[in-house]
Amino acid sequence: MPVLVMKFGGTSVANIDRIRRAAKRVGVEVAKGYDVIVIVSAMAGKTNEMVGWVGEISPLYDAREYDAVVSSGENVTAGLMALVLQEMDVPARSWQGWQVPVKTTSAHSSARIEEIPTDNIMQKFGEGMKVAVVAGFQGISPEGRLTTLGRGGSDTTAVAFAAAFGAERCDIYTDVDGVYTTDPRISSNARKLDRIAFEEMLELASLGAKVLQTRSVELAMRYNVKLRVLSSFEEMDDNAGTLVCAEEDIMESKVVNGIAYSRDEAKMTLISVADRPGIAAAIFGPLAEAGVNVDMIIQNIAEEGRTDMTFSCPVDQVLRAEKALNAAKESGAINFHDLVADKNVAKVSAVGIGMRSQSGVAAKMFKTLSDEGINIKVIATSEIKISVLIDRKYMELAVQALHDAFELEKA
């Protein structure tokens, strides 16, 4: 039998009624002849509640016990989903990560999947089981301890299972009905995309779009897993949602396919740094060791052997970055006159695989922002992306203006 993977997010399994609704969707796919692997998240709000409990006990908690606590939400949902399916006369059972087993690294709270053996579940399919309900977001380390994959990890679990089992498709059910050209809450002209390339989705996810976890898109692209993002609250339709697929599966793509944004950014500038070989490594090495996620990097023109170095990072990592850089200065590894942090910036990005073969995108983007009186602080580009840092108060205006300028409301 062909295998289909279906993943249901927290809002889709928030209560028993919603679990029943999700189970009916699973039953429809079983009736079509699929062996189904269902990946479930914890009920909406439960993981946050458990994270709060752990933090209340100690901010310096044991990450192994943190994983033991927060992974339990998915176990509850998996058992409830299996029970509902059994009441529908669909042969189903639940699986926790260690029972599969989902083998991961030992990096507690941010583990990576290393292997998913298929023998156990395939044996049960052969014995007549039609649905394996697997607790997402979790696995087991080489030491035999429970691990979790980081927030949004159930998406990654679903894609990894689809790759391991050679699934025909991986359906991600959430509270939105697909991937949009931008956030519909900001632009009323936002349009749902029928298809989007892996690379575009990866850029959108990494730039702030919350539809899919970045690691899940990376896995899907690496193993060519077709992803479909759709709402668990809409009527079932074979053409529903957005298909995330290889570029060659898309007939023709627009030059720009989406406008993404990240509200919580910060711009940090090291003023008057020595302009010498190795200075970049001396700066960004300590930041990496401190776990600071650096994005855009700009080095100014040197004057009299000194230069300024600017980079962006999430605003909640500013204190960590300041601590790491000041420690490096005290140790003599680097020397700078001042460290300035601007916590009132946002990142806005235009994304599209069509940029590879079309010129003028940057010019159009910059002129559009200029016409709106929006000053650009930092620019970064890739083959299919242009990102700018701007004052946060202009973020929504920038998103709306760029969405209109590139006519993304048109199919």
- The strand pair at 131-135 and 35-40 is best described as parallel
Other C-beta atoms within 10 Å of 157: how many?
31
310: nearest Cα among 277, 350, 338, 285: 338
Angstrom distance (rounded) from CA 370 to CA 367: 5
- Binding site, annotated residues for substrate: 47, 74
Angstrom distance (rounded) from CA 400 to CA 189: 9
- Binding site, annotated residues for ATP: 7-10, 174-175, 180, 185, 210-211
Helices in 130-190 by DSSP H: which ranges? 153-164
Distances (CA, A) of 291 to 127, 318, 376: 47, 11, 27
Q: What angle do CA 168, 169, 172 make, to 5 degrees?
A: 160
365-378: string of b/e by CB count within 10 Å (b at 16+)?
beebbeeeebeeeb
- Binding site, annotated residues: 7-10, 47, 74, 174-175, 180, 185, 210-211
**Is there a contact between 180 and 390 (Cβ–Cβ < 8 Å)?**
no
Question: DSSP 3-state assignment of 50?
Answer: helix
**Dihedral sign, CA of 18, 22, 25, 30?**
negative
Lateral strand order in the sheet of 146-148: 113-115, 103-104, 138-140, 146-148
| Residue 77 token pair | 């949902």
